[in-house]
Amino acid sequence: MEKKEVQKIVKEKLKSIGFTVKGNVCHKIIDDDYLVGVWLDHDPYSKGYFIEYGAVYLPDEDKIPFNGFCDWDDRFLFTQEPGADLEKYPIQEIEYDEDEITECFDYIERTSEDLTNQLEINIQKKLALLDDKEYVLKYYLNNLDLLARLPENTLKKLLGLYCYDRAEINRLRSQWGYDKFVF
């Protein structure tokens, strides 16, 4: 496959499910105060793409128009072996077997059919989770250490949207060498 072919397939698929496409960055406004974004990050060394996705709670003047920086983000996953069935792997899990799964889609070794199939599975099993704007808030509830390391403007915004243990957040911030957050 060629680099441009990967871009075309991903962008066309995202457009078909309601995303606005501008360059290698795509976004979809889910609600007045929430959007989901997807962006393609080319890796010239491995001849592959990382397809990253995330969520932004609005308003956020620093991130609008959507520029690929999110309040929460992750990457699509692909099989290491071309043509292998991604469906049999628990790609929603945080940890995965790196011998079987990779974050980079190597377009030199892969076919457009392989990309299309694995893209569809990632959309169904990973991206679709973000249609629920509570998903990210609950994710951080279960991962306060990640929440505590966010930039202060993002942390402030998320604290206003959900009831998190603020004492625990400050304990974790101190543990990571951050200043205590003033609520």
Give the residue from 38, 32, 41, 77 showing the smallest Cα distance to 54. 38
Residue ranges of domains in the chain: 3-131, 143-175
Q: What is the mean pLDDT of the chain?
A: 90
Q: What's the rounded mean pLDDT across residues 146-172?
A: 92
Asked if 25 and 66 count as a contact pair (C-beta separation under 8 A), the reply is yes
The pLDDT tens digits for 120-138 are 999 999 999 999 999 999 9
- pTM of model > 0.85: yes
> Which amino acid, 53?
Y
* pLDDT > 90? residue 49: yes
* pLDDT > 90? residue 63: no
- 101 φ, ψ to 5°? -125, 145
